Amino acid sequence: MSVTSERPRDKFISSYTELSVAVRASGLMERRRGFYISRIVATVFAFFAVWVGAFLLGDSWWQLGLAVVLALVSTQFGFLGHDGAHRQMFDSSKANEWTARILSGTFAGLSLHWWQGKHSKHHNAPNQIGKDPDIGNGPIAFVPEYAAGRTGIYGALTRRQGWLFFPLLTLEGAVLHIASVRTLLGSKEIKHRKLELGLIALRLTVGFVLPFLAMPAGLAIGFILVHLGVFGVLLGGSFAPNHKGMPLVPAGAKVDFLRRQVLMSRNVDGGPVTDFMMGGLNYQIEHHLFPSMPRPNLKKVRPMVRAHCEKHGVTYTETSLVRSYGIVVRYLNAVGLSHRDPFDCPLVRTYRG
């Protein structure tokens, strides 16, 4: 599937320039240092408070509740690392980079280098086959061609992958740790490789050793498993509603920036609780259009973006969290059955027209 006309593309490039100028004039691209400093201090405090609580509780099943709280705190560090990697926090690129590196490694056990490489490719080509690593050919098939070639038990699981998606998310925390370490061990040329490995090793040591010092062995194992499982669900569940179930872009298609980011993204409404639990990623359209915009400003720019899309006939998708998860489940089951209907790309229809 190829693009045969550049005229619609030129139109929307001009449209994005218009929007970008208006947004910058509004002041919403300016840093929000107070927000980030207070959020970092509060999250670090919460992290240490959880471990103090674990030692005070001792032999109590309430420890599993603390494991859930620790997973929530770890997820917030993941969001802070994400914001720093996008240079949302401070004016200095080095300050953003080092803040993201330290917070991600020390408190979430994730590598900044691994995250930046993967996430940058996603932002450059969201939902584009062969370019977006988030829809690559992994355990979950996001492209019908990937699912069609699977047979036996693997094929049977793929046909039901929508229902298996959330159980599989419980493994996502461990998968992220492994991917971070594997990437750092894979090349000695990575900048700050030893430091990132050291920070991740420190975080994993704390996470796996302190529970055995604070509580009986059986309870400690439960604490670790609950923390990893909930961490995976919270972090993976924050990214999944944003693009899964939106149109896929053919590998060879060339798409203007505005439509590439808006048509392939989905916002999730819900208020302050949703904003906190999803780390601002529920404003996915605005984040993709302005990736360096501070998190608290994404909600403020939303009316401007929505009005701009309506003016220029670009579909702006927003729904509730529950409905977005329903879309994800149905979408993945359709892919597992190699159905092609969910992949009718409106971009290709527009350009061919």
Query: Over 70: is that where the pLDDT of 246 sits?
Result: yes
The rounded percent of the chain whose pLDDT value lies above 70 is 92
Residue 345: the pLDDT is 47
Give residue 352's pLDDT: 37
Which tokens hold the place of 124?
């450059």
Q: What are phi and psi of 65, to 5 degrees?
A: -65, -40
How much of the chain exceeds pLDDT 90, in percent?
Answer: 81
- Alpha carbon 168 to its chain's center: 16
252-264: b (≥16 Cβ within 10 Å) or e: ebebbbbbbbbbb
pLDDT, residue 297, reads 98
As to burial, measured by CB atoms within 10 angstroms (0-12 exposed, 13-18 middle, 19+ buried), residue 108 is buried
Which of the pair, 13 or 216, is modelled with greater confidence? 216
What CA–CA distances, in Å, run from 89 to 112, 124, 213, 335? 15, 21, 36, 38
pLDDT band for position 254 (cuts 50, 70, 90): confident
Residue 109's pLDDT is: 96
Residues paired with residue 319 on neighbouring β-strands, in sequence order: 268
Q: DSSP 3-state helix, strand, coil percentages of the chain (rounded to 5)?
A: 70, 0, 30
Query: Mean of the per-residue pLDDT values for the chain?
Result: 91
Per-residue pLDDT reduced to its tens digit, 201-212: 999 999 999 999
Residue 257 has pLDDT above 60, yes or no: yes
pLDDT of residue 6: 45
Residues 76-94: what's their mean pLDDT?
96
Q: What pLDDT does 320 receive?
A: 95
pLDDT of residue 253: 87
Among 79-88, 148-157, 230-239, 301-310, name the one with the lowest average pLDDT: 148-157
**What pLDDT, on a 0 to 100 scale, did the predictor assign at position 38?**
98
Query: Running DSSP on this structure, what letter comes out for residue 91?
Result: S
pLDDT at 337: 84
Please tell me the pTM assigned to this model.
0.90
Span 342-353, pLDDT tens digits: 445 444 444 433
Nearest one of 75, 97, 26, 84 to 294, comparing CA atoms: 84
Please report the pLDDT score of residue 2 as a whole number: 38
Residues 121, 7: Cα–Cα separation, whole Å: 26
- The pLDDT-based confidence of 13 (bands split at 50, 70, 90) is low
pLDDT band at 15 (very low <50, low <70, confident <90, very high): confident
pLDDT tens column, 21-53: 999 999 999 999 999 999 999 999 999 999 999
